[in-house]
Amino acid sequence: MNGYKKILCPVDYSVCSNEALKQAVSLATAYNAKLYLLHVVDVRMYGHEAPLSFEMPKPDQESIEKVKKDLADSVLKEAKGKLDVETIVTMGIPAVEIINAARQKGIDLIVMGTHGRTGIAHVVIGSVAENVVRKAPCPVLTVRHP
């Protein structure tokens, strides 16, 4: 392989995700790769699967377009417009949607944040990064907050 041509960076707006975004931008710049930014609206937060006692309204198309714009803006700050960036906003289960996007777009590398939870927090919350690492069709670089 002669470097990475397509890099996927899932963004959930956490501190770890922001660190991963910095790494993804750096790698995409170094390899002159296309950068795909993905935000997954977790469907488990809506309807009957919601852990809350009330149902949250699902985002409308206007909200999704705003998230796409915010994703693009977050990269422009980092890369100053030097990168080819595509933003993707989808609804689903984050690990599943990340893997699906990697397959559909022919991604060469996934760069994603990880909270590094252990113990009961890991058991209760689970690990999106761990699931992606196990099932991704390409290498995965996980980034923790320093």
* Residue 76 domain boundaries: 6-143
pLDDT of residue 31: 94
pLDDT along the chain (146 residues), means of 10: 87 88 92 93 64 57 75 69 86 93 97 70 62 93 84
The helix-helix angle for 61-79 and 15-31 (nearest 10°) equals: 60
Q: Is residue 1 part of a domain?
A: no
Strand partners, 34: 6
Buried b (16+ CB within 10 A) or exposed e, 26-49: ebbeebebbbbbbbbbebeebeee
Q: Is residue 27 part of a domain?
A: yes
131 φψ region: left (φ > 0), alpha (ψ -120 to 50), beta (else): alpha
pLDDT of residue 24: 94
pLDDT of residue 128: 86
Distance CA 117, CA 16 (A): 12
pTM score, whole prediction: 0.80
pLDDT of residue 127: 82
pLDDT of residue 66: 77
Closest CA to 93 of 124, 123, 142, 131: 131
Q: Is residue 70 part of a domain?
A: yes
pLDDT of residue 117: 54
Q: Is residue 45 part of a domain?
A: yes
- Domain containing residue 65: CATH number: 3.40.50.620
- The tally of domains found in the chain comes to 1
Q: Is residue 59 part of a domain?
A: yes
Q: Is residue 29 part of a domain?
A: yes
Q: What are phi and psi of 95, to 5 degrees?
A: -60, -40
